[in-house]
Structure 1
Amino acid sequence: MLSDDAAFHQCYNAQAVVDEKHQVIVATDVNTNAADVGNLIPMTEQVVTNTGQVPDQVLADAGYCSADNLDRTAESAAEHGTEFYLATGRRRRDSPPPVSSRGRIPKSANGKQRAARKLGRAARHTPAA
């Protein structure tokens, strides 16, 4: 894998899925693929295999966002009811949070635009801690 020093090294990519309510790891994997994007659906399926339950919600960072994953998560949501919340991009730490659009999502919106709007709606409706 290409590492921070701009050189290739023998590295591994570890994946873990945590049950937010119980703070328990419910699925794991280690592979040599630097990208996370190919792990979203297999890890979600592993959760079902390991626990016997379909997750209510899955939250993943931008490394898992792709057009294919957005399509597959929409299919999974329709079939099993799991709500997927995928970050659609990165933000610098000192950047202000994006202003979420309000109103109906346009029919012309692509999967990434729909996912971003969904995250914006969820953030507005989450009570402050």
Structure 2
Amino acid sequence: MKFNQDQLAKIKAAKQALDERKEQLNSGKDIDDKKQISFADTEARIMGKKGGSFYYAYNTRISVDADLQIIVAQHVSQNANDKQELEPALKAIQDTAGRLPEQLSADNGYFPGDNLQALEQSGIDAYLAIAILRTVLI
């Protein structure tokens, strides 16, 4: 009987976490399937891999010194992609190293406009790999 009561308490806590998150993120609207919450870890987010598999996880990011090949900063997020991760990465570098780098290189996941604006404001000489666009003129 105690086992059933413990299970029921866990289910109620998970339901409360879902309701609070739904209200916080969507204010009365249904939560998108991609924003589901794990009952075991309510802070983990559903993330996908190539090939169609999905799992609850966190995304970790590291910043590495190009010359010394050592990790100079790291941070963990709930975001599945890099689009919102440049400013937290810069903050982590500033907090750890006491200054921002003179140069930075990153992949195309960091390319959206907000990140470009943050880089421009920081004064960092940045190099972002971008997807090559093929244009056909008719």
Give TM-score, length-normalised by structure 1.
0.60
Give % identity: 34
1:51 matched to 2:93? The reply is no
Bigger CA radius of gyration? 2
Q: State the alpha-carbon separation in 1 of the partners of residues 63 and 132 from structure 2.
A: 21
Give the drift of 1:90: 5.9
In the TM superposition, what are the counterparts of 1:88-99 in structure 2 within 5 Å? 88-89=130-131
RMSD (Å) for aligned C-alpha atoms: 2.0
In the TM superposition, what are the counterparts of 1:8-47 in structure 2 within 5 Å? 8-47=54-93
Partner secondary structure for residue 72 of structure 2: strand
Q: Which has the higher contact order (CA 8 A, sep 6+)?
A: 1
**Alignment deviations for residues 33-53 of structure 1 (CA, whole Å, 9 cap, x no partner):** 111121112111211111112
Q: State the alpha-carbon separation in 2 of the partners of residues 42 and 90 from structure 1.
A: 27
1:13–1:32 Cα contact (<8 Å) kept:
yes
**Alignment deviations for residues 4-39 of structure 1 (CA, whole Å, 9 cap, x no partner):** 232431122110000112211011112231111211
Q: State the alpha-carbon separation in 2 of the partners of residues 85 and 48 from structure 1.
A: 19
| Structure 2 stretches lacking a partner, 5+ long | 1-46
Residues 89 and 52 from structure 1, CA distance in 2 versus in 1: closer, same or farther, beyond 3 angstroms? Answer: same
| Structure 1 stretches lacking a partner, 5+ long | 92-97, 99-129
Q: State the alpha-carbon separation in 1 of the partners of residues 131 and 70 from structure 2.
A: 27
1:35–1:63 Cα contact (<8 Å) kept:
yes
Q: State the alpha-carbon separation in 1 of the partners of residues 106 and 78 from structure 2.
A: 20
Q: State the alpha-carbon separation in 2 of the partners of residues 90 and 37 from structure 1.
A: 18
Residues 13 and 72 from structure 1, CA distance in 2 versus in 1: closer, same or farther, beyond 3 angstroms? Answer: same
